[in-house]
Structure 1
Amino acid sequence: MRDISYVPQLTRRTSRLRDDGVTAWALRGEQYETPFRGLRRPAGISIDQPATRIADALGLMTDGCVLTGWASRWLQGQAYCDGERYGKDLPVTFLCGPGARLRRQPGTRPRERRWVPGEVVDLDDVVVATIARAAYDDMLDAPNRIEALVAVEMATSTIIEQARTAAGNVRAVFDAHVKTRGRVQARWALAHLSTRSASPWETRTRVLATETLGIETWHVNVPVFDQREKLLGIPDLLDPDSGLVIESDGGDHRDIGVHNADNVREEALENHGSAVVRIGSAQLSRSERPETRQRLRLGFERAHSMGRQTWTTEKPAWWRTWPPGRRWD
């Protein structure tokens, strides 16, 4: 888990800094920055951008507030919750109880939602929502059902090396609250949840592939072997009936080493009867989506025409004792 001990103390109210002996002259000088009125943060610091935004938001917190959403998940060591979506910053979200008196500021989002015992924890003197509750709030606040699915899948993924919560924990939070705006898309996300997705782009690609081809039985990040028990690859998506493989290529796939490995793995899978369709993140955009859907349909047809499949998802004995394989089990 990342070290967050410095975050709660990074941005502080000027009144508390004065109580600690910092002079008014120093607070007005170049040593401090002013993210919000009444708050000061040391100038010139070089830290992760999420930490700065979270620290500034924490400086605004009043009694009766709970940090939730992506910021809570980031503090608790989750991946893919850096407060950005498609290059735009997401607001830091707070749950506000009775008497919290927290006003909305740029980059913050107070929510008057209740919480129940077990949904809030103290984390290094910061009151935050549990990962399960934070994921629930992210689902409610998502702009659509796909992004709600992204939030819950990243929070519960057993593939990503991170702190995580169980899908059952998120469902328990969902069941504990009724008549909350956003529950329709949260319900849909929980109904389509896979705990094997390894990135937001994989989740978005799976939704598009399912809508286009009508396939609901995808194998998600399941190892594939040849007849001699050699590992051919771990496809992002595999249709066990047709043999269609779909790979979601994020920005890291532009690296020459990663790209070359992708090519080798693709050839191996096609040599054993699978058709491979690679989809980059830009190809999920609204403008390119029709062409991407057509590529998926053509790939599905090609998979059916490949002939006999000579691959298997049955794991050989050596796999169960191979340490890197533990991530994918």
Structure 2
Amino acid sequence: MDQPFTPRLDQLDVRLPCGIGDVDGPTRGAAYGPRWTPTGGGLFVPTDRPDTPEQRVVERAPAMPPHGAVTGWGALRLRGATYFTGSGRPVDVTVPAHANPRSRPGVRWLRRDLDGELHQVAGLAVVDASMTLLDHVSSELRAGRRREAVVAVDMAMAAQLCSLAGVIAHVRSRRRLPRREQVERVMTLAAAGSASPPESRLRLLWVLDTALPPPLVNVWILDADGRHVAVPDLLEPVSGLVAEYDGLVHAGARRRSRDAEKDDLYRELGLEPVRVTAPDMTRPLDVADRLSRAYARAHEASRPRRWQLGRPFTRAPVMGRESWA
């Protein structure tokens, strides 16, 4: 991908807002000085606090009324999922259905009764991981970002916040779920095992923009003697078509050399590799055409198959273009 991607934060480093006179808070004289920044509601944070998405969440969360809880991207970030940065978005906060909190910049209120779904993270109430993810998925769908909703599910699983089976069970258990049909389609397209957001987007392009069989995701490839030799991003096991996403970490001469050696290895094993970059992904129809032509080449080549599948794998789901734009 464009830079090394780590699904989970090593640790959560935040400075919680404090009131004047609190143990970790400012004195009345210092509160409005250069070392403290007001966050609203009579609370302050150190000016030298971390400039991170999770810090933005904890600065907005104290505006919650009783029985409120952080949800959506903010709660996913507090739980350690690095993909969710909330760039340009408000922090979603659930409140009881009868609540009528004042509007506040940077906060969006979601009204519903939570039914025991609350947990504590960094001293804040957050919604259950599966429901939090569904709130984020609903937000993406509301904005028309349907493929990004699928990427979000993949990345929540990559961060080990939830399982696909668990989220699907949660969907089925909710009597009232906005955009239920679209949410169910998102779950149909999600796949465990994706290692980065660009890999998920490439998989969606393969599944939705071509007529090819669905690929396997990050499966181990073994040689004829059973030795592990590669883990391609995507693999169609009948034809031997391989798709690899190459971000900026692949741009250096040494890495390009290793990638060329890897492609030679793929061909020696009887596989047909295709490499896709970030600029390529801005032309999805061209990528779809390249994949389709490579699939045809793989079938026509009739190379001896000198490889086998390794450990358990995840297959991308099947969904035709007519059912998902």
TM above 0.5, yes or no, is yes
Contact in 2 for aligned 1:244/1:303 (Cα 8 Å): yes
| 1:241 match | 238
| 1:10 match | 16
Among 168, 171, 183, which residue is 1:171 paired with? 168
Among 34, 41, 48, which residue is 2:38 paired with? 34
Distance 2:247 2:105 in 1: 30
C-alpha spacing 1:104/1:303, structure 2 compared with 1 (3 Å): farther
C-alpha spacing 1:214/1:42, structure 2 compared with 1 (3 Å): same
2:11 corresponds to which letter in structure 1? D
Distance 1:153 1:213 in 2: 21
C-alpha spacing 1:165/1:63, structure 2 compared with 1 (3 Å): same
| 1:327 match | none
Alpha-carbon distance, 1:229 to partner = 2.9
| 1:229 match | 226
| 2:109 match | 110
Contact in 1 for aligned 2:71/2:132 (Cα 8 Å): yes
Distance 1:100 1:250 in 2: 46
Alpha-carbon distance, 1:53 to partner = 1.0
TM-score, normalisation: structure 1: 0.81
1:208 corresponds to which letter in structure 2? L
Alpha-carbon distance, 1:193 to partner = 2.3
TM-score, normalisation: structure 2: 0.82
Distance 1:268 1:153 in 2: 29
| 1:325 match | none
Distance 1:151 1:77 in 2: 14
Contact in 2 for aligned 1:139/1:185 (Cα 8 Å): no
Worse-matched range after superposition: 289-298 or 250-259:
250-259
Distance 1:306 1:42 in 2: 64
Question: What do the CA deviations read for 1:238-294 (whole angstroms, capped 9, x no partner)?
Answer: 011211111122343335554433222222112222221112233223xx2222222
C-alpha spacing 1:215/1:96, structure 2 compared with 1 (3 Å): farther
Alpha-carbon distance, 1:80 to partner = 1.8
**Aligned pairs (5 A) from 1:1-329:** 2-4=10-12, 7=14, 9-12=15-18, 16-18=19-21, 22-36=26-40, 38-45=42-49, 47-84=50-87, 89-117=88-116, 119-142=117-140, 143=143, 144-157=145-158, 162-285=159-282, 288-315=283-310
User: Higher helix proportion, which one?
Assistant: 1
Distance 2:110 2:280 in 1: 34
Alpha-carbon distance, 1:222 to partner = 0.5
Contact in 2 for aligned 1:34/1:40 (Cα 8 Å): yes
Question: What do the CA deviations read for 1:159-211 (whole angstroms, capped 9, x no partner)?
Answer: xxx44312222112212223432323211011122111111111111111112
2:60 corresponds to which letter in structure 1? A
Contact in 2 for aligned 1:62/1:101 (Cα 8 Å): no
C-alpha spacing 1:54/1:224, structure 2 compared with 1 (3 Å): same
Q: Classify the secondary structure of the residue corresponding to 2:92.
A: strand
| 1:323 match | none
C-alpha spacing 1:28/1:173, structure 2 compared with 1 (3 Å): same
Distance 1:247 1:186 in 2: 28
2:67 corresponds to which letter in structure 1? G
Question: What do the CA deviations read for 1:89-126 (whole angstroms, capped 9, x no partner)?
Answer: 33321112145443443333221233333x32122431
- Aligned positions, number: 300
C-alpha spacing 1:311/1:111, structure 2 compared with 1 (3 Å): farther
- The percent of aligned pairs where both chains have the same amino acid is 26
Contact in 2 for aligned 1:63/1:100 (Cα 8 Å): no
- Structure 2 portions without partners, runs of 5+: 1-8, 313-325
Alignment RMSD (CA, Å): 2.6
Alpha-carbon distance, 1:137 to partner = 1.1
Distance 1:213 1:90 in 2: 32
